Amino acid sequence: MFFDSWYALLRVAVTAVCAYAALIAVVRLSGKRTLAKMNAFDLVVTVALGSTLATILLDRSVSLAEGVLALALLVILQFVNAKAAVRFRSFRRVIKAEPTLLLSEGRMLTEAMARQRVTESEVLQAIRSQGIGAVEDATAVVLETDGSFSVLSRSRTGSGSSLQDVGGPLRTRPDG
């Protein structure tokens, strides 16, 4: 249907302004890390927030109060999840992936790359994006929990202590 009524348009406009304001307020009150780029679980919550907002705007059977409650509950659950992940290591292991070492001392770790579904070209691109021209000049390439790549160059690795939570072999790691 192309046009239903002026009332329907007015309802969407007013509801959009109110729901958007409520979403901003709830996210702002919950803190900076609520929608931080951290892991796949956070992406799911972000998509759920968007879907909930769309439902509030377009589904006449969902009242503004019900929708705002749903938004608030999603953000509260995300906040509780983040708090639990910080406090309990076992909970953190269940909901968050570990960073994965994909290249060590200039050597591609093909088994780790296959497990993470990462190609050699993607690792090379990450190395190039850091201005490193030779693979052997990269001490480590890590697939982070948010899906991004971190590259440590041989000249800037230092003790390698930033790699202590990364799974995989690396000779410069302080614990190995």
Where exactly are the structural domains of the chain? 6-94, 100-163
CA 54, 20, 71: angle at the middle one, nearest 5? 65
User: Which range, of 7-16, 35-44, 74-83, 114-123, averages the lowest pLDDT?
Assistant: 35-44
Judge whether residue 37 has pLDDT over 90: no
Q: pLDDT digit string (tens) for 134-161?
A: 999 999 999 988 889 999 998 777 777 7
d(CA 115, CA 170): 18
% of the chain residues with pLDDT over 90: 49
Q: Return the CATH number of 100-163, one of 3.40.50.2020, 3.30.240.20, 3.50.50.60, 1.10.10.60.
A: 3.30.240.20
pLDDT digits (tens, 9 = 90+) for 15-33: 999 999 998 888 787 776 6
- Give the per-residue pLDDT at 168: 64
Give the span between the Cα atoms of 53 and 175, in whole angstroms.
Answer: 47
Which of the four pLDDT bands, split at 50, 70 and 90, describes residue 38? low
> Residue 78 to residues 4, 40, 48, 66, 146: CA-CA distances in angstroms?
37, 12, 11, 18, 16
